[in-house]
């Protein structure tokens, strides 16, 4: 779902953030099916590639003012290092040989191919849609002709470029690192599943290039009906669903508690206060100023208190006498 949402976003950072969510879903699939080592290697390869993508896009946002991909374009000739970094990060993120995630996704697909064909289909779908979405972002940001926001958008300074190029080198060397750590799953791969991973990547890249790297295709691209595109662009309307379910329920409970507090709790406290005031007003009319009356009142109160305190003892004495 997150990979589909990503291809409908116009905020350049949101296009990457939803890819993060979709790959975390792949990690959960690996853990849930007992492929914990595959999950760890997938996180490793994904982290380097996604970090490179974020650095590339971050450098674009840094001095291009806007984050709207519809206002970007034509940066390939102006920012070649950022563009190459984006290409390397994209290649390292999808199942494209011989880059890092190709090995981890192929290992995951091989482990799912025999007993979990539905999950295998999900992995292939996410990989293909992610490849399509990354080509879409590349075409809208680096492809085409410069626009108003990108006419004066030069390559960033070396404090940005240096760590980006270093991370590019690490991303390219992920297969070597996996081989050095004896984590490269060459012997355990199912070649049919591996071929499907490569095929899904090729379909996604090819479809994305045909649409977003084709200058004859009018931009912005309308894929399907407007209602379907809005469904993806507004995150499956999860915000609206959350508002009419969770927020509505919490608000209703809050209103009930507020009513109980105002009408029952406060009412009981106010009743006690009124009773106290009424009792005080009533007692003031019984004040005579005569010492004999006060003494009689005290004597009566002490006697009543003594009777209450000694009542259990008197009851036991009556039982003894009666027995």
195-215 pLDDT tens trace: 999 999 999 999 999 988 888
Tokens at 280, concatenated? 């005080």
DSSP-derived secondary structure letter, 235: G
- Neighbour-count burial of 155, counting CB atoms closer than 10 A to its CB (0-12 exposed, 13-18 middle, 19+ buried): middle
Q: Which residues, other chains included, contact 104 with Cβ-Cβ below 8 Å and sequence gap of 6+?
A: 38, 41, 42, 45, 46
Kindly report the number of other CB atoms within 10 A of residue 12's CB atom.
21
Give me the pLDDT at residue 232, please. Answer: 58
Checking if the pLDDT of 135 tops 80, the result is yes
- Neighbour-count burial of 19, counting CB atoms closer than 10 A to its CB (0-12 exposed, 13-18 middle, 19+ buried): buried
DSSP-derived secondary structure letter, 246: I
Checking if the pLDDT of 171 tops 90, the result is yes
Q: Is 65 left (phi over 0), alpha (psi -120 to 50) or beta?
A: left
Give me the pLDDT at residue 138, please. Answer: 94
8-48 pLDDT tens trace: 777 888 889 888 888 999 999 999 999 999 999 999 999 99
pTM: 0.74
Q: What count of residues does the chain have?
A: 323
């Amino acid at each position: 779902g997150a990979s589909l949402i990503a291809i409908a976003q116009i905020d350049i950072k949101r296009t990457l953030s939803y890819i993060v969510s979709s790959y975390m879903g792949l990690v959960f699939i690996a853990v849930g099916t007992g492929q914990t080592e595959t999950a760890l290697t997938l996180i490793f390869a994904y982290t380097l590639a996604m970090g490179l993508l974020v650095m590339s896009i971050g450098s674009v946002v840094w001095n291009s003012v806007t984050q709207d991909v519809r206002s970007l374009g034509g940066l390939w000739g102006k920012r070649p290092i950022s563009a190459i970094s984006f290409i390397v990060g994209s290649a390292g993120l999808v199942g494209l040989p011989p880059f890092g995630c190709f090995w981890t996704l192929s290992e995951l697909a091989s482990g799912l191919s025999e007993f979990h064909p539905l999950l295998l289909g999900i992995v292939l779908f996410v990989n293909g849609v992610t490849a399509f979405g990354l080509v879409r972002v590349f075409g809208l940001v680096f492809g085409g002709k410069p626009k108003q926001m990108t006419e004066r958008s030069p390559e960033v300074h070396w404090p940005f470029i240096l760590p980006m190029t270093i991370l590019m080198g690490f991303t390219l060397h992920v297969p070597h690192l996996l081989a050095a750590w004896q984590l490269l799953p060459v012997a355990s791969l199912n070649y049919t599943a591996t071929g499907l991973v490569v095929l899904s990547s090729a379909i996604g890249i090819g479809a994305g290039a045909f649409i977003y790297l084709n200058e004859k295709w009018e931009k912005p691209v309308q894929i399907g009906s407007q209602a379907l595109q809005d469904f993806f662009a507004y995150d499956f309307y999860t915000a609206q669903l959350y508002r009419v379910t969770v927020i509505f329920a919490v608000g209703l409970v809050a209103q009930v508690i507020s009513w109980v507090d105002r009408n029952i709790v406060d009412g009981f406290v106010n009743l006690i206060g009124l009773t106290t005031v009424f009792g005080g007003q009533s007692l003031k009319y019984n004040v005579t100023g005569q010492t004999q009356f006060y003494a009689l009142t005290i004597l009566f109160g002490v006697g009543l208190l003594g009777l209450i305190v000694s009542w259990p003892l008197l009851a036991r004495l009556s039982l003894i006498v009666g027995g």
